[in-house]
Amino acid sequence: MAIDIRGRDFLRLSDFETAEINDILDLAFEMKREQRHWSLKGRTVIMLFFNSSLRTRTSFEIGVAQLDAHPVVLNVGQDAWNLEWREGIAMDGDSPEHIKDAARTLSRYGDVLAVRSFPKMKDYEQDRTDPILSSFAKYASLPLVNLESAVEHPCQGLADLMTLREIFNQNTRRKKVVLTWAPHVKPLPLAVPHSFALAAAMGGCDVTIAHPPKFELAPEVMAQAREIAGKAGGSVKVSHNQQEAFKGAEVIYAKSWLSREFYGDQGAEFKYRAGLPSWTVDEDKMALTNRAKFMHCLPIRRNVVATDAVLDDDDCVIYQQAENRLHAQKALLVKLLGESSR
Ligand code: CP
């Protein structure tokens, strides 16, 4: 029986039961097979981007149009005013509008509000509260969708679990999945690795998170992933040895993320990184796996995160993942809003 999530916010995968996420994905598979036409005619989805995007913006905008609904996309600071989130301050700085007023206004126009707001990556204790997204959640009176924040990228997580289900013919339980840290030219947020760890846990996979020391994911997310995986019949463990972790793996998911230990201090993080062995995913490392599929959320820095040989191989499923954003998000919108009567 279908599960009713109409009217809820979609901020973190961990706000949802595994059964609810799988129910969204069951619909996503029906949509991918084009079993019929789904309509959100007469609805409007407003998207606010505080940061750049290729996949999230296009997959949402196209998906909304395919559902007969109307997308409105605003780049904050360009199409829309810079927005303040702090409460009770004299707004005499760069932001002419408060999220309190923007969220209440947009709630009178649209049916769903979706927001991308990356962390500032200076103050971890502030970033981990997702101040911009939390302010929208406080003041908006329509379903709010997280298009990637400091803590999670749940739409990516949805598409990633959908891709795992495809790779394993729907049976993801106990499959050996490795989320590996990889190098990058700058420290990156924790949102994607957090959401992938939770998504693979929901799949009941045996998840190994491979990273150098000092690159631990947030402990609360690790605890959630372990609990979710346990309930789904899987497990979560950590390895500091990338090549050991790759042995027998059926999926390798590469992603770079920052060290919370050096938060806000790129110089110190890169000094530490200089002493690490290479964590770039290459053919030799992939040869240790059980013919693993290679996953990454994109965008990817070729020959830094993973080599061309890995990315251009038949076992690389990055475009399948990117396509699944479209199907998974359309299913999410239909589940949050309920279909329009035609
Ligand atoms: N994976 C992802 O969210 O891509 P964009 O940053 O291009 O939207």
Reported as a single tens digit per residue, the pLDDT across 252-286 is 999 999 999 999 999 999 999 999 999 999 999 99
- Residue 290 forms part of a structural domain: yes
Is the Cβ atom of 116 under 6 angstroms away from ligand 1? no
Q: Find the CATH number of the domain harbouring 282.
A: 3.40.50.1370
Q: At residue 1, does pLDDT exceed 90?
A: no
Token pair belonging to 254: 């590469």
Identify whether residues 45 and 57 lie together within a single domain. Answer: yes
How many Cβ atoms are within 10 Å of 11's Cβ, its own excluded?
21
- Rounded CA-CA distance 119/331 in Å is 27
Region 290-319: what's the mean pLDDT? 98
Per-residue confidence at 35, pLDDT binned at 50, 70, 90?
Answer: confident
pLDDT of residue 250: 98
Q: Out of 115, 298, 318, give the residue to mutate to test ligand 1, the one with the largest number of ligand atoms within 8 Å of its CB.
A: 298
Tokens representing residue 100 in the block: 């309190």
CA 300 to ligand 1 centroid distance, Å: 10
The confidence band for 2, taking pLDDT boundaries of 50, 70 and 90, is: confident
Residue 2 included in any domain:
no
Tell me the pLDDT band of 34, cut-offs 50, 70 and 90.
very high
State which ligand 1 atom lies nearest to the alpha carbon of 116.
8
- Tell whether 142 and 210 lie within a shared domain: no
Q: Is residue 8 part of a domain?
A: no
Q: Which atom of ligand 1 is nearest to the CA of 297?
A: 1
Ligand 1 pocket test, pick from 53, 116, 158 with the greatest ligand atom count within 8 Å of Cβ, gives 53
- How many whole angstroms from 149 Cα to the centroid of ligand 1? 12
Please tell me whether residues 274 and 252 are part of one structural domain: yes
Residues 301 and 313 in one domain: yes
Task: Indicate whether 342 pLDDT > 60.
Answer: no
Q: How many CA atoms lie less than 13 Å away from 111 in the CB half-sphere? A: 19
Residue 86 belongs to domain spanning: 13-152+325-337
- The secondary structure of 292-330 as a DSSP string is -EEE--S---BTTTB-HHHHTSTTB-HHHHHHHHHHHHH
pLDDT over 60 (residue 189):
yes
Question: Both tokens of residue 258?
Answer: 């920052």
Number of domains into which the chain is organized = 2
How far from 31 is each of 5, 44, 328, 330, CA to CA, in Å? 18, 20, 9, 8
Q: Does residue 3 lie in a domain region?
A: no
Residues 169 and 111 in one domain: no
pLDDT of residue 341: 66
* Cα–Cα nearest to 32, from 298, 302, 328: 328
pLDDT at 340: 80
Question: Contact 98/105 with Cβ under 8 angstroms?
Answer: no
Q: Which residue has the tokens 């050991």?
A: 244
Cα-Cα-Cα-Cα torsion 197, 23, 43, 99, nearest 10 degrees, comes to -30
State both tokens at 153. 């990228």
Phi first, then psi, for residue 219 (nearest 5°) are -60, -35
Contact 320, 163 (CB under 8 A): yes
Cα distance from N-terminal residue to C-terminal residue, the chain = 23
What secondary structure does DSSP assign to 176-239, as a single string? Answer: EEEEEE---SS---SHHHHHHHHHHHHTT-EEEEE--TT-PPPHHHHHHHHHHHHHHT-EEEEE
Tokens linked to 231:
């309930």
Whole-prediction pTM: 0.97
In this predicted model, what pLDDT tens digit does every residue of 163-187 receive, in sequence order? Answer: 999 999 999 999 999 999 999 999 9
* pLDDT at residue 185 in the model: 97
Q: Do 148 and 245 lie in a common domain? A: no
pLDDT tens digit string along 208-248?
999 999 999 999 999 999 999 999 999 999 999 999 999 99
Q: 230 and 136, same structural domain? A: no
CB atoms within 10 A of CB 7: 10
Q: In terms of domains, do 226 and 146 share one?
A: no
Residues 63 and 171 in one domain: no
Calculate the alpha carbon distances from 177 to 142, 193, 257, 279 in Å: 36, 13, 18, 17
- Rounded Cα gap, residues 149 and 171, in angstroms: 30
Q: Are residues 88 and 160 in the same domain?
A: no
Q: Are residues 215 and 291 in the same domain?
A: yes
Between strands 206-210 and 176-181, the pairing is parallel
Confidence tier at 205 by pLDDT (50, 70, 90): very high
Would you state the structure tokens that stand for residue 66, as one six-digit string? Answer: 């395919």
Residue nearest atom 6 in ligand 1 by C-alpha distance: 53
- Residue 284: inside a domain, yes or no? yes
**Contact 53 CB / ligand 1 (< 6 Å):** yes
**Claim to verify: residue 125 and residue 172 sit in the same structural domain:** no
Q: Is residue 342 part of a domain?
A: no
Q: Is the dihedral of CA 126, 129, 133, 137 positive or negative?
A: negative
Asked if the structure places residue 4 within a domain, the reply is no
Residue nearest to atom 4 of ligand 1 (CA): 55
Q: Sorting pLDDT into bands at 50, 70 and 90, what band is 21?
A: very high
Q: Is residue 56 part of a domain?
A: yes
DSSP 257-297: ---GGGTT-HHHHHHHHTTSPP--B-HHHHTTSSS-EEE--
Residue 147 alpha carbon, nearest atom of ligand 1: 3
Q: Kindly report, residue by residue over 54-95, the tens digit of the pLDDT.
A: 999 999 999 999 999 999 999 999 999 999 999 999 999 999
Segment 87-114 shows an average pLDDT of 97
Average pLDDT value for the chain: 97
Q: Is the pLDDT of residue 318 over 60?
A: yes
In a mutational test of the pocket of ligand 1, which residue from 146, 297, 321 has the highest number of ligand atoms less than 8 Å from its CB? 297
